[in-house]
Amino acid sequence: MLLRACISKIHRATVTEADLNYVGSITIDQNLLDASGIKPFQYVNVTNVSNGIFWQTYAIPGVPGKGDICLNGPPARHFQRGDKIIILAEAWITPEEFSNIVPVVVFVDDKNVVTSVEKHPPAQTSSH
């Protein structure tokens, strides 16, 4: 059996562009990918804090240091420049791996520059 787990997130990033005519995906500044551990073409969940929309797509790297967060293709109908979003990366892991994951949370400022990176402690399992 595999469990679906959040392994990292980018918290309250600001959408810099929404490009309806691009083929798809979310462009994320390479610096944010590096800080979060999100890999290019890894599936991510994107939650729009501004309107509650939840979208799943894959990440593509943007220019390092430019601060790009661009929703491409169909999600451009639901995510607009200036919206605050949370990007969640997940993985399918075994129950044994679950107790050892240390999710990373990347906090950013309004220009999508990393302000801090925190690691959550390993998941605690119940003895019940």
| Every domain of the chain and the residues it spans | 3-93+102-119
Q: What is the pTM of this model?
A: 0.91
HSE-up of residue 77 (Cα within 13 Å, Cβ side): 4
DSSP H helix total and E strand total for the chain: 2, 9
Identify the CATH number of the domain defined by range 3-93+102-119. 2.40.40.20
Mean pLDDT of 37-66: 97
Which of the following is catalytic: 8, 22, 25, 43? 25
Say what percent of the chain tops pLDDT 70. Answer: 95
Is 58 among the catalytic positions?
Answer: yes
Which of the following is catalytic: 36, 58, 99, 116? 58
